[in-house]
Amino acid sequence: MGSHARPPSPPVDGNGIHLPRDLPPLRILFLYPDFLNVYGDRGNLTALVQRARWRGLPTTVTEASVGTPVDATHFDLVLVAGGQDRAQQAVAEDFRRSKGPSLIEAVEAGCPVLAICGGYQLMGHFYRTAEGTEMKGLGLFDAWTEAGGRRMIGNVAVRAELGDARPLLVGFENHSGRTTLGARARPLGRVLYGYGNNGSDGTEGARYRNAIGTYLHGSLLPKNPTLADWLLQAAVDRRYGQGIRLPPLDDTVEHQAREAMLRKLLGPPLLRGV
């Protein structure tokens, strides 16, 4: 995210008319920040809050960990990040039994969710570790994950599918889990560089309604403002109704940084062809 100053840009209605600044806050839920939070994943929360603030939209952030009762249906956007196997094991039962039912209900009602790496794996049917321990997931994504013998580490470039938009995303992955998508699953996108879900079928991540699972750390959202605003717009729709549009921001610096990484990974000839 650039440090250059950006003038306040309040949200507008469907006719381009600026809306009052006393709108109720967007409610963001960040799950298990003390267990699942590696490779700068908290930066995704910072990006969302700042990009809302630049539009004059207030936010509230609630952090909930193991043993903290929380009803995800009371929120407009949910984040769950990545962590090591031990951290996943520490939260898996609480996630499935305590947070999971209301999270499933929220997603079915259109709530946007961003789940990274370990959080993504727990949104599928199960994750089986290299030792054979199986952690049951929510089953929101028709997907399952099994540990492999080799870690998949490095930068990633992905052609994502977000409705009519086909943004190129960049990120960083570090995982041994091989995720397989079932027949009902839709990937977040296709891998152009890196490994993605399993290093073999060319898919990366999963998407169901407005819930996204991905292996892209990074932080992901500061590098990819189009995805950040896709999530924010879904949160705005949920909170205020679908007549309010987020005005564009000056993302020149972010796009220059992302394009520099894409040129490094894909090279100019390949970049022109994707």
Q: Which residues have a catalytic role annotated?
A: 117, 217
- The response to whether 151 counts as a known ligand-binding position is yes
The token pair that represents 87 in the structure block: 């951290």
Summarize the chain as % helix, strand, coil (round to 5): 30, 30, 40
What Cα–Cα distance (Å) separates residue 21 from each residue in 6, 18, 33, 225, 239?
17, 9, 30, 23, 14
Question: Is 51 within 8 Å of 229 (Cβ atoms)?
Answer: yes
Question: Is 152 within 8 Å of 191 (Cβ atoms)?
Answer: no
**Element counts in the chain: helices (H) and strands (E):** 7, 14
Contacts of 59 (CB under 8 A, 6+ apart): 25, 26, 27, 28, 48, 49, 52, 53
Q: How many whole angstroms separate alpha carbon 16 and alpha carbon 10?
A: 11
Nearest to 63 by CA among 112, 29, 114, 26: 29
What Cα–Cα distance (Å) separates residue 86 from each residue in 82, 89, 135?
11, 5, 11
Question: Is 214 within 8 Å of 188 (Cβ atoms)?
Answer: yes
Please enumerate, by residue number, every residue annotated as part of a binding site: 151
Please enumerate, by residue number, every residue annotated as part of a binding site for substrate: 151
